[in-house]
Chains A and B, each alone.
Chain A
Amino acid sequence: SAVISQKPSRDICQRGTSLTIQCQVDSQVTMMFWYRQQPGQSLTLIATANQGSEATYESGFVIDKFPISRPNLTFSTLTVSNMSPEDSSIYLCSVEESVGGELFFGEGSRLTVL
């Protein structure tokens, strides 16, 4: 199974600033996803990170707020821009090793915005 490293694991940020979360996978994967998990809530898909093209965003999420990079098949970044306290959440990177199969998750990045 894929080994996924995410950093930072946690951060405390000031309102109005931006933070970039990195996701590194130990093998090449086609599909990488970014999820948000607000305290005590479920997993909500933010976007699919496509290698070589723009990310595909879900309803309610926009590129200006959550820009994503996917420079190669093992790495992706998610930036949370112009943060507000409502952005306080855990952000999880996930990968799919085979089409329509199991999702593997990183440990998550716990973001607190003051």
Chain B
Amino acid sequence: GENVEQHPSTLSVQEGDSAVIKCTYSDSASNYFPWYKQELGKRPQLIIDIRSNVGEKKDQRIAVTLNKTAKHFSLHITETQPEDSAVYFCAASDNNNDMRFGAGTRLTVKP
């Protein structure tokens, strides 16, 4: 089955700096790669996703890149703000609806 690894487990940045979180996956059949943000005590919510036919996707300060050959994808947050502080999860799934999550990255943005 799919195995998703995520790094780093914790990340601390100064407000205004960029943050990068990286994930690798094992199943070459995976074709959908979402990123979820989970604030303390809240449900996980999708912030951006990418499909395997696309190499990069951007939404304002958030971007995701995908390298299918190397089986890794990354989340980039620019101009970080304190409200970006949360736990971020990457995930990978295929058409069999089998979504697997990474271990999570706790991002802290210091004002």
B89 and A100 form a contact (CB under 8 A): no
A31 within 8 A of partner (CB): yes
In-complex Cβ contact of B46 among A42, A45, A102 (8 A): A102
A105 within 8 A of partner (CB): yes
Q: Which B residues between 87 and 109 are near A, CB-CB below 8 angstroms?
A: 89, 91, 93-95, 97-104
B89 and A42 form a contact (CB under 8 A): yes
What's the least CB distance linking B85 to chain A, in Å?
15
Q: Which A residues between 15 and 51 are near B, CB-CB below 8 angstroms?
A: 31, 33, 41-45, 48
Closest to B95 in A: A100
What's the least CB distance linking B99 to chain A, in Å?
6
A92 and B43 form a contact (CB under 8 A): yes
Complex-state Cα separation, A92 to B46, whole angstroms? 15
**What number of B residues sit within 8 Å (CB to CB) of A?**
23
How extensive is the interface on chain A, given as a class?
A: 20 to 34
What's the least CB distance linking B8 to chain A, in Å?
14
A96 within 8 A of partner (CB): yes
B55 within 8 A of partner (CB): no
If A42-B89, A106-B43, A108-B43 touch, does A99 touch B102 (CB 8 Å cutoff)?
Answer: no
Closest to B102 in A: A42
B16 within 8 A of partner (CB): no
A103 within 8 A of partner (CB): yes
What's the least CB distance linking B52 to chain A, in Å?
11
If A42-B104, A45-B100, A48-B97 touch, does A102 touch B44 (CB 8 Å cutoff)?
Answer: no
Complex-state Cα separation, A39 to B42, whole angstroms? 13
Having A42-B103, A45-B98, A45-B99, one finds 18 other A-B pairs with CB under 8 Å, namely A31-B97, A33-B97, A41-B104, A42-B89, A42-B101, A42-B102, A42-B104, A43-B44, A43-B89, A96-B97, A99-B95, A100-B95, A100-B97, A102-B49, A105-B43, A105-B44, A105-B45, A107-B42
Taking beta carbons and an 8 Å cutoff, which residues of B are in contact with A? 1, 31-32, 34, 42-46, 49, 89, 91, 93-95, 97-104
Taking beta carbons and an 8 Å cutoff, which residues of A are in contact with B? 31, 33, 41-45, 48, 59, 92, 96, 99-103, 105-108
